[in-house]
Amino acid sequence: FGDWESALGAASHMGRRDIAEFLIAHGARPDIFTHAMLGNLDVVRAIVEAQPDAHRGHGPHGITLMRHARAGRERAASVVEYLESLEGADDATMSLETPEPMQQRYLGTYRFGAGATEFLRVYINQNGMLMMQRAEETGRILHRVGTDTFAPSGAPAVRVRFEMDGDRARSLTVHDPMPIVTAVR
């Protein structure tokens, strides 16, 4: 699973029209999120009409279509206005409250092999969000979706389930949707 982001995707959610236009001029393929940021209302509307609920999808890092449009500022005002008329265009990823004492239960390093990169680290980031990271790769926010069950940011169908031993996790299993790895603390 992953939360993959292209250079064009990054430019789109950061509102960097200049970079997006440069990348498109050199062959990058824009998606609905790029068109929203660029203010291409006709394209966004056509995609939503052709694929109902396309406006509910999330881009890299779980960023909503509406947030991409807002990143385009004045030039994307018509897209923002259009998206405001659609239910769900700015719905954040569902995440049950996970207070810091609860987060502590999951913190630690979980190994799934003997290799130098065969581990997952669960930690709290500088914003107080529970994160999971493999070795030195980019960490993912863990959104709590149930009891001891989380969905990584950008991968809403994936589940990370912790097996508890009292008030401390002893292992975790990643399901995508079938179990693909179990790691032990």
What are the boundaries of each domain within the chain? 7-84, 100-184
Q: Which CATH number fits domain 7-84: 3.40.50.880, 1.25.40.20, 4.10.490.10, 3.40.50.300?
A: 1.25.40.20
Q: Return the number of other C-beta atoms located less than 10 Å from residue 168's C-beta.
A: 13
Cβ of 96: how many Cβ atoms within 10 Å? 12
The dihedral through the CA atoms of 95, 100, 103, 108 has a sign that is: positive
Residues sharing a CB contact under 8 Å with residue 133, sequence separation 6 or more, in sequence order: 120, 121, 123, 139, 140
Burial class (CB in 10 A: 0-12, 13-18, 19+), 10: middle
Distance CA(163)–CA(8), nearest Å, equals: 38
Pick the CATH number of 100-184 from 3.40.720.10, 3.40.50.620, 2.40.128.50, 3.20.20.330: 2.40.128.50
Q: Which residues of the chain have pLDDT under 50?
A: none
CB count within 10 Å of CB 33 equals 24
**How many angstroms separate the CA atoms of 159 and 165, rounded?**
19
For residue 52, cis peptide bond before it (omega within 30 degrees of 0): no
Q: What is the pLDDT of residue 52?
A: 86
Confidence (pLDDT) at 80: 98
pLDDT for the residue 1 = 60
Specify the pLDDT at position 2.
60
What gap in Å lies between CA 185 and CA 173, rounded to an integer? 11
- Angle, helices 77-84 vs 41-50, to 10°: value is 30
